[in-house]
Amino acid sequence: MESNLSSAEYIERAQMHDGLANSTADPEARKMHRAMAAAYRRKAERTGIEMTETPIARGPVLEAAIPVGARA
């Protein structure tokens, strides 16, 4: 799945699309590959930011106990 990729994997895909854009003679395909490369670079930047700024825990863990006999 694409959502599970790391920042390095997004960069790798961007480089692949750059190579495809440089190797094609079709202007529409070149435009599409350049757009894909740019999109993967943005995802790589966003993934890098999310990985460094998102804390693992956001606060204290609360436990909820259901009293005996309260279940339906």
Average pLDDT of the chain is 79
pTM (predicted TM-score): 0.62
pLDDT on residue 1: 43
28-58 tens-digit pLDDT: 999 999 999 999 999 998 876 655 544 555 5
pLDDT on residue 66: 67
CA 64 to CA 54: how far, in whole Å?
25
- DSSP assignment of 4-54 equals G--HHHHHHHHHHHHHHHHH---HHHHHHHHHHHHHHHHHHHHHHHHHHH-
